[in-house]
Amino acid sequence: MSKRLYHKILLIMRLTTVILIASLMQVSASGFAQLITINRKNVQLKSVLKEIRRQSGFDFFYDGKIITDDQRIDINIRNVTIDEALHNTFEGLNFIYEIEGKKIAIKKKPAPSLIEKVKSFFNNINISGIITNENGIPLNGATIKVKDSKILTKTNTEGAFTLNGVDENAKLIISFMGYEDMEVKAIKNLGIIKLKLSNNPLDEIRVVAYGTESKRFSVSSISTVSADVIEKQPITNPLLALQGQAPGLTISATSGIPGSQVLVQVRGQNTLNLNSSVNAPKPYDQPLFIVDGVPFASQNQNVSQFASMVAAQRTSDGISPSIGISPFSNINPADIESISILKDADATSIYGTQGSNGVILITTKKGKAGATNFDVNVNTSVNSVGRPVQLLNTQQYLQLRRDAYAADGATPSSDPADYNNYAPDLTIFDQNKYTNWQKLIYGQNTTNTDVHASLSGGSANNTFIISTGFNRSTYNYPGDFADQRFTLHSNQRHISKNDRLSVSLTSDFGYGQNNSAGFGGARDAILSPNLPDLLDASGKLLWTYKGVDLTSQQFYASLLKPTKLHNYNFNAAFNISYKLLEGLTISANIGYNRNNTNENSIEPGVAQNPVYLSRQSNFSDITFQTINVEPQINYSKTIGKGILSAILGATYKKNTNSSRYVTGYGYSNDNFLGSVNGASSVQANDDASIYRYNAGFARINYIYDQRFIINLTGRRDGSSNFGPGRQFGNFGAVGAGWIFSEENIVKKLLPILSYGKISGSYGTSGSDGVQAYQYQALYKPIAFIPPFQGIAPSSPYNLYNPDYSWALKKSLNIGLDLGFFNSRLLLNATYYRNREGNQLVNYPLPIQSGISSVLGNLDAVVQNEGPEFSITSTNIQNKDFSWRTTFNLSFNRNKLISFPNLAFSSYSSAYAIGEPTSVVYGYKYKGVNPTTGLFEYYTKNGEVTSNPTYGLATEGGDQAAISDQQIKYMGGFGNTFSYKQFSLYIFCQFSSQNAPNYLAEVYGSSLIGLMYNQPLEVLNNYWKKPGDIAQLQRLGSSYSSISTSSALSFAQSSGVYRDVTYLRVKTASLSYKLPVSFINKVHIKGGSVFMNAQNLLTFTNIKVGDPEQPSTFSSFPMQRVLAFGLNLNF
């Protein structure tokens, strides 16, 4: 890796640290003044007194018996004088105190006389009031507790409460999850009390499996990305908003084309190949995606079936699954409230099987009680290529071509029959014509539009939101191609007057249209720069130039072969709950999701060379559907000093997927291509699958004394993917945490520590990631075989193995959380180790068993482990200026621990024991031989050759494990600055991995020296004459060239693998809140103008291409997006 980049990252990190520390010093400096600060809950009175003595120098005198060890108080004072401190300490207690000089004497209050008692009875008052949030919206369920007593009550749906018979000198503590506690003096009519939102990130509420929790008492490994981070990113696919935001989460964009797939992985690859066919790409585990409690029907699968520009992008590098159109681009990021990433067993095991590879919970926005609010957001963005690649110009290109012929001692020929030497670009085309195809194809800027409007409001009992959005994302490509999306989101919620019944319905409808060019597309950027005009003056396609057939170069033909995709997503989440008793609620979640895609791709006559004309039209349908029903019982109770909450539930899920593909041939007219009826012959293919899943689960959580947390989860899963008797599996997890900062000794020794927690979890989960029906012997029609004497033949499809069962994953997670300076600085360090064993694979068999593999469990174990770190810090918080920082860093190490008989299985060229599952087999590269000018490789015996033998060493070949594609480290850091009306957010993401670089393409798919344009970097880097020490070998002018074999081997050698490290300014967002004076003038509630940028700047050690697509320089590049917008609130 380039040392420079490394240093740059280091420098930025250091700089951040210095600034951070500087600002922290400032924060803590006030603590050393003569004033007293104590903030503790449920602490011994004795220790408070000691603390006051320590901070003030005053001594206390009292009869040792009157203050006992279990005399505890809550105290929260900040920079107060000794008088105030004492007043606060003893308020409501049965003590009186006197100050003499530096001494304080404490005595018991004299016992009240009978008269006083009677008086006190009459002094008791009935209190009533209404609790609201900062905007005056009533809070339902806020707790009002009489200080130092057991008397408490909760607010109703109107936020109102009454407390009877309270001492008029008493104090009330009002608390609500996510808000700061408030202490008020008891008076008869409290009126409306507004609670303040908690600034403490520990108390932020986040969505977890079947509920919410605060970070403070969590023992799981969960990251949350909230709306304020998502909305600052001008992206159309919500998954892209997660890039770099959460430790352990890998997000890979597959292309810069809007609508294209985004791959997601949590904490590495757990499963092995399910496909034993040669060179099959390895599987890529993706987490479970749940939207508003409903499992997303398509999950993150490609919803497109056709070869289109999107599908033509990026080689899979042997790891990724097939790529295409993402179903998630049909969810509007503006409708998302938060995305939670559940990583460890404690967080995910309640999802059992399905959550084995992590869970992504997407929660959409819900209506909030209050005045009806209308919010409009409009923005326009400008797209350009993130990192353009400079290709050769005509002179440079022709020079390279001539060098190639010279190297072969061949002469370019104008005769098409001279297969080896035919070079129309050197002999027929204009030698001075220059078309910058790269610029023409993806060099322009385009503009995109995004509009989002939402109407929300309601009372405490009934809230609603309706929002709609439109997005049109074009990309800088000639032609009318775009990804468009219409979304309609709504939520209604009703709570009955008596606060027992609650119903909520969330529904989302999304219609997406992706219109993309036919296969080929951007790869045409490497056409010869001196190619003649491909269009005539009237814009018609030209197929020949001076007798040269231009069919394979006719870039404009792909523009006339559009693939049009319509995607419909419908998601409905219904929730009903009823409170049977205080603390006991029954509820049910019922969800339905349907994702349907229709596609049509055409090959019209106008796009084809009339010589080989053959019209064709392809139609396809894919439908994914999920029905999910989850009845639940929730119970919570205060037991002793702790709170117990339990949940008991069941899941029933049914997935049905189907796909159909019809191709019509032999149309007589281009205008018939929209229908299958015009075809003279038709080929069709379909497939369908069904999956049923059923589980029962229970989770018990107990938080003792705000210090100890224990969490037990158990689950029994049933899956239709398994045979009779194997369908059920039991899984569970245990999590525990200790908030040690609540211990007195810690408070005493480390007063700087405001929060400290050690937590851990261990658990199991299963995986049934196999096709249905494999447990029984199946027969399939033999495809493409004519009937035998009129009988359609069929043949066995699989072997009968009813015995395979769940793959088992064991996860260990240990976390340390530290909070300093009243939790303004929060640090988290986590170590995890996941081991997936009993892997489900197509286990290879000798063919004498009839079929070469059988689906079964294999005692292979894949391990993922590593540390993760995250920091959130409020560096500066003033009235006008604030600065907050977040940072995360993760290191996942993946390793195949065991695989019995690996060397003898067909997986032997895909995996290696002790190596990451992303291990790559190929030739070990040595260098360019200065004499022959050819690339050289090491053979299995350590000899040197330019023509290595294909195959593994065990098979007589020279291939060995040469590299892997593991991400070495990744992370992100963001800074948010706000000054008065201005707010600036800058988020940087970084990653480092081993990956093939652009030379994989130069020597793989578009061989250098042939009629393809190449990146400028290759120029004069190649060997020319004996004695040259060169990076690249001698050129070849044809596939018959002596350099071809060693060139093709190079693309499969360690020579193309290198470290790819980058730091990307992923998001920069600047917004300006419209000033109150202006708002009042135009009669609106609020508004802002903003500018958001995505992929603004990239620092990387690779010279050619985008570091997120390092192995290619010709496929469609990542986009840099600059959006300008306006937000208005009515």
Partner 1 sequence: MIMKKIFSDINKIATGLLFIGLTLASCKKLIEIPANPPSSITQEQQFADSLTSMSAVAGVYAYNTGNGFAYSDGALTYITGLSSDELSYVVDNDNQQFYSYTLTPLNGGISSIWSYAYQSIYQVNAVLNGITNNSNLSADFQKRITAEMKVVRALYYFNLINLYGDAPLVTSIDYSTTSHIPRTPVATVYDQIKADLADARQNLTANYPSAGRARPNLYTAIALQAKVNLYQKNWQSAYNEADSVIRLGNYVLESTLNNVFLSGSTEAIWQLPAKSSNYAVSDARNFVPSSATAAPNYLITDFLWNAFESKDRRLQNWTASKVVNGRTLNYPFKYKNISTTATPVEDQMIFRLAEIYLIRAEAAAHLNDLGQALADVNKIRARAGLENSPVNPTSQIAVLGAVMLERQTELFCEWGNRWYDLKRTGTAAAVLGAEKTGYTDNASLYPIPQGQRQLNKSLTQNPGYN
Shortest distance, position 725 Cβ to partner 1, whole Å: 10
Nearer to partner 1, 377 or 587 (CB): 587
Shortest distance, position 1117 Cβ to partner 1, whole Å: 39
Query: Are the CB atoms for 612 and 658 separated by under 8 Å?
Result: no
3-state secondary structure of 514: strand
CA angle 1101, 1105, 1106 (to 5 degrees): 75
3-state secondary structure of 669: coil
Nearer to partner 1, 110 or 790 (CB): 790
Cα four-point dihedral sign 841, 845, 847, 851: negative
Query: Are the CB atoms for 481 and 508 separated by under 8 Å?
Result: no
3-state secondary structure of 6: helix
Rounded-to-integer distance, Cα 1 and Cα 10, Å = 14
Nearer to partner 1, 507 or 636 (CB): 636
Shortest distance, position 303 Cβ to partner 1, whole Å: 20
Alpha carbon distances (Å) from 989 to 18, 866, 1064, 1065? 20, 19, 5, 6
Shortest distance, position 652 Cβ to partner 1, whole Å: 5
Q: If 0-12 CB within 10 Å is exposed, 13-18 middle and 19+ buried, where does residue 592 land?
A: middle
For 784, residues 6+ apart whose C-beta sits below 8 A from its C-beta are none
Nearer to partner 1, 644 or 1089 (CB): 644
Nearer to partner 1, 674 or 725 (CB): 725
Query: Are the CB atoms for 436 and 1013 separated by under 8 Å?
Result: no
Nearer to partner 1, 76 or 795 (CB): 795
Shortest distance, position 732 Cβ to partner 1, whole Å: 9
Rounded-to-integer distance, Cα 967 and Cα 969, Å = 6
Nearer to partner 1, 537 or 847 (CB): 847
Shortest distance, position 774 Cβ to partner 1, whole Å: 10
Closest CA to 222 of 728, 862, 761: 761
Region of 418 on the Ramachandran plot (φ > 0 left; ψ -120 to 50 alpha; else beta): beta
Rounded-to-integer distance, Cα 576 and Cα 783, Å = 49
Shortest distance, position 141 Cβ to partner 1, whole Å: 23
Rounded-to-integer distance, Cα 753 and Cα 749, Å = 9
Nearer to partner 1, 710 or 1065 (CB): 710
Closest CA to 236 of 475, 478, 465: 475
Nearer to partner 1, 496 or 683 (CB): 683
Shortest distance, position 803 Cβ to partner 1, whole Å: 9
Cα four-point dihedral sign 1102, 1105, 1108, 1109: negative
Nearer to partner 1, 793 or 1026 (CB): 793
Rounded-to-integer distance, Cα 219 and Cα 202, Å = 13
Rounded-to-integer distance, Cα 833 and Cα 804, Å = 25
For 883, how many CA atoms within 13 A lie in the half-sphere containing its CB? Answer: 10
Enter the DSSP assignment of 680. Answer: S
Shortest distance, position 924 Cβ to partner 1, whole Å: 22
| Backbone torsions φ then ψ of 497, nearest 5 degrees | -60, -40
β-strand 1057-1073 against 1086-1100: which pairing, if any? antiparallel
Nearer to partner 1, 191 or 640 (CB): 640
Question: Distance between terminal CA atoms of the chain?
Answer: 52
Nearer to partner 1, 881 or 904 (CB): 904
Shortest distance, position 585 Cβ to partner 1, whole Å: 14
Rounded-to-integer distance, Cα 111 and Cα 910, Å = 84
Nearer to partner 1, 773 or 969 (CB): 773
Nearer to partner 1, 606 or 644 (CB): 644
Tokens 């918080």 found at: 877
Shortest distance, position 921 Cβ to partner 1, whole Å: 17
CA 129 from centroid of its chain's CA atoms: 44
β-strand 446-458 against 370-385: which pairing, if any? antiparallel
Nearer to partner 1, 110 or 787 (CB): 787
3-state secondary structure of 658: strand
